[in-house]
Amino acid sequence: MPRKQNIYQKRQEKIYDWMAQKGIGLLMIEDAEGRRDSNLRWLTGMPADALFFLSAERKSLLVPWDINLARMYGNADFTCPYNDFDRMPVKACVKAAAMFKIQRNSQIEIPSTTSYPQFLRFIEALADFDIVCRDEEGSGEVLEQLRAEKDENELQQIRRAAKITNDIIDFLEKQLRAGKIKTEYNAVQLIENELRKQDCEGTGFEPLAAGPQRSMAIHSFPAYTNSSFGTKGLSILDFGIKYQGYTSDVTLTIAVEPGKTQEKLISLTEKAYVLALGMVRPGLAAAELSSAVDAFFAKSGKTMPHGLGHGIGLDPHEGPYLRSRENNKWILQPGMVITIEPGLYDPRLGGCRLENDVLVTENGREVLTNSRIIRL
Amino acid sequence: MPRKQNIYQKRQEKIYDWMAQKGIGLLMIEDAEGRRDSNLRWLTGMPADALFFLSAERKSLLVPWDINLARMYGNADFTCPYNDFDRMPVKACVKAAAMFKIQRNSQIEIPSTTSYPQFLRFIEALADFDIVCRDEEGSGEVLEQLRAEKDENELQQIRRAAKITNDIIDFLEKQLRAGKIKTEYNAVQLIENELRKQDCEGTGFEPLAAGPQRSMAIHSFPAYTNSSFGTKGLSILDFGIKYQGYTSDVTLTIAVEPGKTQEKLISLTEKAYVLALGMVRPGLAAAELSSAVDAFFAKSGKTMPHGLGHGIGLDPHEGPYLRSRENNKWILQPGMVITIEPGLYDPRLGGCRLENDVLVTENGREVLTNSRIIRL
């Protein structure tokens, strides 16, 4: 049972400290359909579908949709069913403010994803308070930064997820070479079957398997089909497995009798990967890393249509983000776990992407997964 | 190829008409990770990850993340890669306003889900315009209403999805009776295998399979495991399959040697289902339907912790919503496809839910799926 573990209390304390520093009376976290927020799980252990309130008095309230699940997973001082508030965030927030005796004119911070129309409802219902909704220098940013640098407990889960992923990759290659994977769905089936044996929660996201006819898309649609896979040309397989909430994220390319121009795509992707990996070290600006790869591709007249990589953890995409944008302020730090995933896509040639998970260490990097370009 | 189909043009025309009526110069739709919006697919055929702009001059612009996918699926007058705007919605909107020569002081409507901080950025970047962001009487509401009443093309896909679902349910029962489904994962595997044979896109949502130890949760966590399924007690299986974008949504309960108190849960659930189904007809207020079931359960001192049902379509949950809330304004209309899914959950006894998909017809209802309580 993951209940009452000290790790959640420790994480909540960090947020209480931050709240005290900023003078915030009440902080609300929301996870709901259409507005998923893994901060709920990171802070409480509750996997989904709840509100969570932290007060200046260092007490917390969990408001779950499913009270039975909350009894199993939730770590909070108080718990109250969401149905008591007709599952309306504003009503629950009014109750939390009263319950924790939040002083008039205090700051109440609500999620930065709160829609503008919903924001107006908070302001109206909580007119005695200072409603704060911000994405810069807000709680979301703090939580994103805290979560980006993994603690020992998290690294343990991530290493386990990587190990399971690596075993699956090796098995996939073996089965591919034995001619036992003929369709995109076959590849996905193998992944699902293997991860279930290892007590994983599931895949970290819908696996993307695209045979030569469909690999030109960054994220193929549908995610996988009964189309042939691993046949002549370039096939892409992008997947992650989820262990105790933590997901891996890797991409394999399977190349079968590639033509000369396809060889060029592969070679450029591999070189970009080596270039990027060699640069990973603490202190490096993520934008610098990403820009180096963009510049490398540009020399050959190629453009990568997506970012170079991103953090992984409870979310398949989280901070830090390896994008070339000017406003990207992420700096690599020890304990961050990132993907490095250069890729190129061509409507006629298909696509090629190579992606592994990399831990930033005190001195440089440690590659956790063993994805590769497989030539059949 | 689903390109250039007349259905998308027809749907866009309906929105242009509404825009003209409301005096809206430019309308923006957004589908992105964390902010999914099936209105994109409904209006353009593009399955995901794009912005879509409709102008008062009845011309449209698609701004996709993946230009290769957009070439295959997108139906718009103009297409421009999202990367040209650093994948920033505000930048793309500024461009669309210029391209369509939107007049100063015109209304530009942005998604009702736009966060408050992001709303401020729109206002700043488009100071010459009247930025509108609303969830009441906005485009989101209009699209939700339009999508709730399915057209002939949609009903065809939904009927096909229901047929495939029914075949899977029958096969599931057969395999359960033959003792071939022993775990939650076995049940999910069977569903995945069968839907792949029928050229489906996938499951409509992550299937929920919960054996007797886990069925007390509304949505079990993890969604499915290797735990035993269909053994003594109550097991729940909640799944949908997606055909041409349209999902079914059914729940089976498998009861094995239920005790007296478990029999009571089953009996109440079945009676609530029959009661609700008998009421379905055009003109009925959704809140009235839902309240009738709440009142029925209350007579036995029971509470259903979720809504009675919801519409299905491109989304697994969409309008109309069958909730008892006072502010629920949905009225059943011919062409709506809803789920009826009463359920009761007990930490010791487990859970019981029965869910089928129902088409509201001119005269009453047509039950599309054949889910049931299976006694082994």
Mind listing the pLDDT tens digit for each residue in A122-148?
Answer: 999 999 999 999 999 999 999 999 999
What per-residue confidence (pLDDT) applies to B258?
98
Q: Tell whether A278 lies on the interface with B, counting CB pairs under 8 A.
A: no
Regions in chain B scoring below 70 on pLDDT: 1-5
* 8 Å CB contact between A111 and A133: yes
CB proximity under 8 Å: B 131-150 to A? 133-136
Q: Tell whether B123 lies on the interface with A, counting CB pairs under 8 A.
A: no
Quick check: B202 and A221 CB within 8 A?
no
| Residues of B with Cβ-Cβ distance to A187 under 8 angstroms | none
* 8 Å CB contact between A360 and A311: no
Quick check: A115 and B113 CB within 8 A?
yes
CATH number for domain B149-375, candidates 3.90.230.10, 3.40.50.300, 3.30.460.10, 3.40.50.1980 = 3.90.230.10
**Alpha helices, DSSP H, located in A224-350:** 260-279, 286-299
For residue A83, give the nearest of B222, B305, B317 by CB distance: B305
Kindly report the nearest CA distance between residue A185 and chain B, in angstroms: 8
What per-residue confidence (pLDDT) applies to A326?
80
Enter the DSSP assignment of B225: -
**Which residue from A minimizes the CA distance to B69?**
A217
Kindly report the nearest CA distance between residue B343 and chain A, in angstroms: 13
In whole angstroms, how large is the CA radius of gyration of chain A? 23
* 8 Å CB contact between A234 and A374: no
Q: Tell whether B69 lies on the interface with A, counting CB pairs under 8 A.
A: yes
For residue B66, give the nearest of A33, A65, A219 by CB distance: A219
| Residues of B with Cβ-Cβ distance to A69 under 8 angstroms | 217-219, 221
Cβ neighbourhood burial of A70 (10 Å; 0-12, 13-18, 19+)? buried
> Which band of pLDDT confidence, cut at 50, 70 and 90, is reported for residue A46?
very high
φ, ψ for residue B25 (rounded to 5)? Answer: -80, -35
- Structural tokens at position A336: 């961050």
What per-residue confidence (pLDDT) applies to A252?
98
The whole-angstrom separation of Cα A150 and Cα B59 is 48
Q: Tell whether B113 lies on the interface with A, counting CB pairs under 8 A.
A: yes
Q: How high is the mean pLDDT of chain A?
A: 96
| Residues of A with Cβ-Cβ distance to B83 under 8 angstroms | 303, 305
Kindly report the nearest CA distance between residue A9 and chain B, in angstroms: 22
What per-residue confidence (pLDDT) applies to B5?
59
**Which residue from A minimizes the CA distance to B348?**
A68
Quick check: A222 and B216 CB within 8 A?
no
CATH number for domain A150-375, candidates 3.40.630.40, 3.40.50.80, 3.90.230.10, 3.30.43.10 = 3.90.230.10
Q: What is the DSSP string of A134-181?
A: -SSSSHHHHHHHHHHB--HHHHHHHHHHHHHHHHHHHHHHHHHHTT--
- Structural tokens at position A153: 């407990």
What per-residue confidence (pLDDT) applies to B327?
87
- Structural tokens at position B316: 């697994």
φ, ψ for residue B87 (rounded to 5)? Answer: 55, 40
Q: Span A331-358, mean pLDDT?
A: 98
CATH number for domain B6-146, candidates 3.40.50.300, 3.40.350.10, 3.40.630.40, 3.40.30.10 = 3.40.350.10
Quick check: A113 and B112 CB within 8 A?
no
pLDDT tens per residue across span A212-240:
999 999 999 999 999 999 999 999 999 99
Kindly report the nearest CA distance between residue A183 and chain B, in angstroms: 11
- Structural tokens at position B241: 């399959």
The whole-angstrom separation of Cα A8 and Cα A303 is 43
| Residues of B with Cβ-Cβ distance to A221 under 8 angstroms | 47-48, 69, 73
What per-residue confidence (pLDDT) applies to B325?
83
What per-residue confidence (pLDDT) applies to B1?
39
User: Around Cβ B19, how many Cβ atoms within 10 Å?
Assistant: 21
Quick check: B305 and A202 CB within 8 A?
no
- Would you call B358 helix, strand, or coil by DSSP? strand
What per-residue confidence (pLDDT) applies to A5?
59
Q: Which sequence spans correspond to the domains of chain A?
A: 6-146, 150-375
For residue A119, give the nearest of B116, B206, B345 by CB distance: B116
Q: Tell whether A226 lies on the interface with B, counting CB pairs under 8 A.
A: yes
Q: What is the DSSP string of B186-239?
A: HHHHHHHHHHHHTT--EESS--EEE-TTTTTSSS-SSS--SSB-SSSEEEEEEE
Quick check: A221 and B73 CB within 8 A?
yes
Nearest CA among B259, B238, B233 for reference residue B248:
B238
Quick check: B83 and A305 CB within 8 A?
yes
For residue B68, give the nearest of A189, A224, A345 by CB distance: A345
* 8 Å CB contact between B302 and B270: no
What per-residue confidence (pLDDT) applies to B102?
98
- Would you call A6 helix, strand, or coil by DSSP? helix
Interface probe, candidates B115, B189, B322, B327, chain A, greatest A C-beta count within 10 A? B115
The whole-angstrom separation of Cα B213 and Cα A196 is 18
- Cα dihedral A330→A336→A339→A340 (10° resolution): 70
